[in-house]
Amino acid sequence: MSGERTMPVAVLIGMMGAGKTRVGKEVAHIMNLPFADADVCIEREVGMSIPEFFEREGEPEFRKVEADLIADMLEDFDGIFSLGGGAPMTPSTRDALADYISRGGRVVYLDADPEEAMERANRGGGRPMLNGDADARWRKLYAERDPVFRKVANVRVRTQGLTPQMAARKVMDMIRERMVHVTGAGIEPYDVCIGEGAMNHLPEVLGDGPVRVALIHTQPVQRHSDHARTLLRQAGYTVSDIVVPDAEAGKTVDVANGVWRRMGDEGFTRSDAIVGLGGGAATDLAGFIAATWMRGIRYVNCPTSLLAMVDASTGGKTGINTEAGKNLVGSFYTPAGVLADMRTLVTLPNDIFIEGLGEVAKSGFIMDPEILQILEDHADELRAFDGATFLDSGLKDVVAELIERTVGVKAYHVSADLKEAGLREFLNYGHTLAHAIEKLEHFRWRHGNAVAVGCVYAAELSHLLGYIDQDLVDYHRSLLGSLGLPTSWSNGSWDDVLALMHKDKKARGNTLRFVVLDGIGHPIHLEDPPADAVEEAFRRIQR
C-alpha cells in the first residue's frame, strides 16, 4: 500500500446479477476513472477461479481473503470498486465500509428488479452460491441480504427497467451529490442531499409507510412538480396535487385551511405524508401542514430556489404569516429529508437566485469565512446567473459548495439548539430589521434582499457600540453590493420599524434583543442596546 491514504470514488454493492460490474465499468468510463471488480482481483490473487477456490478451500476461507482485499482497496484505490454479492455480509467488511463512509465515501446499493437480476445471474453462470435450485437460492439470499445492503449503503439506486448506460448516469449523479447530516437533541436525524437529480431519492426518503402523499407546490415550479409526481406515482403512492399561491401569499391561515380541508376530504391518515416543493414560502407552509395534521406526519422538502435550499427547507422551522407579523404562528418540526436538486435552479430567474445569496452571505458572516471568500472570488459570475446555461457552467460546482457550506452552518446551529433557545438565534443575524422591512413592504421585498439590508444594519449597530471597526461595516456593503443585493432601505418610518422590532421573536417583553458581530465568525447576543444607537444604525442604512 502507498503511504498516502486514498479511497474509491464509489463502492458498488448488490445482489448477484444486479449489474455491478457492467454499471461500474460504465460509470468509470464516463468519469474517466479506473475500475476494479473485487472478484477479479481475488482470482488474480489466489491464482484460480472463484468456483475452484470455493471447492478447494470453502466459503469461510474465501470470505477471509475477500475481506482482507476489500480492506486494502478501500485505502489504496481511487476509482470505482465493485464488490461480490455476499461481501457486505462479512462483519469486518461492514466495519470497513462504515469507516469508508465516515471519510466521505459513497457505498451504492444497486437495487435491481429481482426477475431481471435472477435472469442475469443464471445466464452468467459460475456462481457457487447459486448451486442447486438457482432461483430459490437467489430469493433466499435476497431475503437475507437486502436489509443488510440497505443498512450498509448511503446511496441506493433502483435500476429496474434501466439500461446499463442509464443506470450508470443515475449512479454518477448520486455519487457526485453532497450530503449534510442533521442530528441533535430532539431531532430525528435526516440528510440534506445536494446535487443534480437529488429528487430521485424521494421514494426512498418517504419510505414504504405512506399510501397517500400530498404534493404541495406553487404554479411557477410546475415543471419540477410534474417530475416529482411521476416519481411518486411510479413508486406506488397515491398523489394529491395541491397548488398554493406563490411566495408569501401562500403562507396564510386561509391557504393552510384549504389544504387541511382537502386532506380531510381525501382521507389522509397519520401514516401518510407530505412533500413540499417550491421556494421557501412553499416549504414553510408544507412543513406547517405536516406538523399540524393529526399532530404530525412525515414530510420531505424539495426546495427549488437557492434561498429555500440554504435556509427555509432545513432546520425544522415551519410557519405561516399573520396580520401581526411574519412567521409568528408555526412549529419546530423536522423533515424526513431535504432534496436540493440542482436541476431545479435552471428555471430560477436571475433576481430570485441573487436574493438567495443574502442568506448565504449571512452564514459566512456568522460562522464560515470561506463562504465570504467564495462569494468574493465569484461575485461577477454569481451576479450574472443564467439558469439556461447553469448546469453546463463552472458556476454549478461553486453554487453546490456554497449550498453545502451554508446548510452546514445551519445544521451546526440547529443540531445544538432546535427550538431557538440560544445558539440558533445567531442564524437570525440581520433578520430583526429584515422582517420589519418585509412587513412594511407588504412582502413585496424578497426575504434574501431584506436580510442583506438587515446585515448591514446589524453591522452598523455593532460598530456604533464598539464591537467591530468601520472596515467590517464597509466590507458588508461592498460584498453584498457586488453580488447585486441591496444595502440600504428608506421606505418606512423609524416609529413603524421600532414597533415591529418589538414584535420580533427574539424580543423579551419590552426589551429588544439583536444578534451582532464582534468579528467575522463571532456573533453575539445584544440585550437592550441604547435606543439612540438602535435608531442611528437605522439612519445609516437609509442613505
Residues 6+ apart with CB under 8 A from 295: none
CA distance 423 to 136: 56
Paired sense of beta strands 523-527 and 212-218, if any:
unpaired
Annotated binding site for Zn(2+): 359, 431, 447
Task: Kindly write down the DSSP assignment for every residue of 329-365, as one continuous string.
Answer: EEEE---SEEEEEGGGGGG--HHHHHHHHHHHHHHHH
Annotated binding site for Mg(2+): 21
Annotated binding site for ATP: 17-22, 127
Task: Kindly write down the DSSP assignment for every residue of 296-321, as one continuous string.
Answer: --EEEEEE-SHHIIIIITSSSEEEEE
Q: Which residue has the cell 428555471?
A: 347
Annotated binding site: 17-22, 39, 63, 85, 127, 145, 246-251, 280-284, 304-305, 317, 326, 344-347, 359, 431, 447
Residues 6+ apart with CB under 8 A from 516: 429, 458, 459, 461, 462, 465, 467, 523, 524, 526
Q: What are phi and psi of 514, to 5 degrees?
A: -130, 160
Strand partners, 243: 217
Residues 6+ apart with CB under 8 A from 43: 49, 50, 53
Annotated binding site for NAD(+): 246-251, 280-284, 304-305, 317, 326, 344-347
Q: Residue 491, exposed/middle/buried by CB under 10 A (0-12, 13-18, 19+)?
A: exposed
- Cell for 322? 399573520
Q: Which residue has the cell 382537502?
A: 262
Distances (CA, A) of 69 to 18, 37, 90: 22, 11, 13
CB 399 within 8 A of CB 340: no
- Cell for 378? 465569484
Paired sense of beta strands 523-527 and 513-517, if any:
antiparallel
Distances (CA, A) of 373 to 367, 377, 429, 452, 535: 13, 6, 19, 17, 31
Annotated binding site for substrate: 39, 63, 85, 145
Other C-beta atoms closer than 10 Å to the C-beta of 334 total 25
